[in-house]
């Protein structure tokens, strides 16, 4: 039996073994045609062939979106810790992933970065409670991001922290544009995160979050497709504000994503599975939560093979085959669901799908915005949060941050 460990796939995270899972039959779907999506629903596919394009969604009104977003914001404001952070090592269960003190420091800092990003992007900063929460969260990040590091030779969860830390710092950079000293400090911190990612880069290029091989100073971790994607997308965001990431890191991570890419734009989980391309987790149903981010990372870094039709195809797949991801949502054991899907694939995948929509022609965007919004609105909890995998006391916070930033991009006004 081969074991797959993972963590926050922020999401971040996983661990635990991939159970022996029967491989469901799944045929490879043909590439979507280059047609706008505001057309009538296609006729039913011939018997035995999969449906390729979703039916038109039920439109989502601005009031529905705003009400849901406000409830999510209120949840984040209620659960912020006194020190300005979000999340904790509490609410344990018998199936906890392995994590030491350094891992929890990385988790808490990463989740705080995500929550700060969500509030900056989505919330009304003129609200005193929102302003105070952002300020306290930023103070925590200024103090703690420089301190985050590898927990122990095997555990490298901190790579997620550096990725989402960069994303938060970019958002913070745009918040107070007239404060030159603050901006300079933020740029310095972004460069520090680049240096951390250089230090913890896998020997084969890209990043993983476990080193089961050697525990060497430069990790012998297996390069993991969706970690590479998250880092590269954060690098691109830093580049947009004039902070250039190290080109050698970019080139090696891109090379590994290309190596992990299959002809149908599914992506193997990590390079250690390169000789098992037909494992359930490496089939389209298992890649639903990764292909969005990997396609996006390649496209923003200049891969012209990730055309609009590729983006539309994988948005269509995410919508039509959403049940494969949803059956894994909230399950306590990573990879126990069909296609070896883990719960923390869920909001991670939808977030990067939402980031993909603005790349499409304007005529296509409302179709996917309404579909993604409908999916996310249907999963909001009574307390206003979203969560997909029970991870100590981090899951509601990161799930809510992902969902808020996704729903924000479902607003037609930001097209």
* pLDDT tens figures, 368-406: 999 999 999 999 999 999 999 999 999 999 999 999 999
Give dist(CA 358, CA 375) in Å, integer.
Answer: 18
Contact 6, 342 (CB under 8 A): yes
Chain position carrying tokens 């990730």:
306
Specify the DSSP element, H or E, that contains 350: helix 346-356
CATH number of 8-18+62-414: 1.50.10.20
The candidate with the shortest Cα–Cα distance to 295, out of 316, 311, 313, is 311
Confidence at residue 45, expressed as pLDDT on a 0 to 100 scale: 52
The candidate with the shortest Cα–Cα distance to 345, out of 289, 397, 268, is 289
Low-confidence ranges of the chain (pLDDT < 50): 1-42
Strand 12-13 versus strand 8-9 pairing type: antiparallel
**Domain locations in the chain as residue ranges:** 8-18+62-414
Token representation of residue 2: 């081969």
The candidate with the shortest Cα–Cα distance to 374, out of 399, 402, 348, 410, is 410
Contact 347, 292 (CB under 8 A): no
Confidence at residue 415, expressed as pLDDT on a 0 to 100 scale: 63
115 by DSSP, 3-state: which?
Answer: helix
Token representation of residue 388: 């997909």
Longest CA pairwise span in the chain (Å): 64
Helix axes 225-240, 158-175, angle to 10 degrees: 20
Give dist(CA 69, CA 239) in Å, integer.
Answer: 28
Q: Which residue stretches of 94-224 are H helix?
A: 101-122, 128-144, 158-175, 180-199
Buried b (16+ CB within 10 A) or exposed e, 338-376: bbbbbbbbbbbbbbbbbbbbeebeeebbbbbbbbbbbbb
Give dist(CA 56, CA 402) in Å, integer.
Answer: 24
Give dist(CA 193, CA 21) in Å, integer.
Answer: 38
The candidate with the shortest Cα–Cα distance to 249, out of 227, 270, 267, 269, is 227
Confidence at residue 12, expressed as pLDDT on a 0 to 100 scale: 39
269 by DSSP, 3-state: which?
Answer: coil
Q: Is the peptide bond before 11 cis (omega within 30 degrees of 0)?
A: yes
Contact 380, 72 (CB under 8 A): yes
284 by DSSP, 3-state: which?
Answer: helix
Cross-strand bridge partners of residue 270: 224
């Amino acid at each position: 039996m081969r074991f797959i460990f993972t963590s926050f796939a922020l999401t971040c995270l996983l661990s635990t073994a991939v159970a022996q899972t029967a491989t469901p039959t799944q045929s490879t779907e043909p590439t979507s045609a280059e047609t706008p999506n505001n057309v009538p629903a296609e006729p039913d596919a011939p018997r035995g062939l999969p449906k390729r394009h979703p039916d038109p969604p039920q439109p989502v009104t601005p009031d529905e979106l705003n009400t849901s977003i406000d409830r999510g914001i209120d949840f984040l404001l209620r659960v912020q810790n006194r020190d300005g952070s979000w999340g904790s090592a509490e609410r344990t269960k018998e199936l906890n992933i392995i994590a030491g003190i350094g891992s929890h420091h990385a988790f808490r800092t990463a989740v705080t970065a995500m929550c700060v990003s969500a509030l900056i992007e989505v919330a009304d900063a003129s609200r005193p409670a929102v302003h105070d929460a952002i300020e306290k969260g930023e103070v925590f990040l200024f103090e703690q991001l420089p301190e985050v590091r590898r927990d122990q030779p095997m555990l490298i969860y901190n790579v997620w922290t550096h990725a989402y830390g960069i994303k938060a710092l970019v958002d913070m950079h745009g918040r107070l544009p007239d404060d030159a000293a603050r901006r300079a400090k933020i740029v310095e911190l972004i460069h520090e995160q680049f240096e951390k990612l250089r230090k913890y880069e896998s020997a084969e290029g890209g990043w993983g979050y476990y080193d089961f091989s050697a525990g060497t100073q430069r990790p012998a971790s297996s390069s993991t497709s969706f970690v590479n994607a998250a880092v590269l997308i954060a690098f691109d965001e830093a580049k947009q504000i004039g902070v250039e990431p190290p080109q050698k890191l970019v080139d090696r991570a891109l090379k590994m994503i290309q190596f992990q890419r299959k002809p149908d734009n599914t992506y193997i989980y990590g390079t250690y599975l390169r000789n098992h391309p037909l494992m359930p987790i490496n089939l389209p149903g298992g890649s639903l939560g990764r292909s969005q981010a990997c396609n996006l990372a390649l496209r923003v870094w200049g891969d012209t093979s990730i055309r609009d039709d590729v983006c539309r195809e994988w948005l269509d797949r995410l919508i039509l085959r959403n049940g494969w991801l949803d059956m894994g949502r909230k399950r306590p054991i990573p990879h126990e669901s069909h296609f070896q899907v883990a719960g923390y694939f869920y909001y991670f995948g939808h977030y990067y799908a939402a980031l993909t929509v603005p790349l499409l022609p304007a005529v296509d965007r409302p179709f996917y915005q309404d579909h993604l919004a409908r999916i996310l609105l249907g999963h909001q909890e009574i307390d206003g949060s979203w969560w997909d995998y029970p991870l100590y006391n981090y899951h509601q916070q990161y799930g809510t941050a992902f969902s808020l930033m996704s729903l924000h991009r479902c607003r037609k006004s930001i097209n």
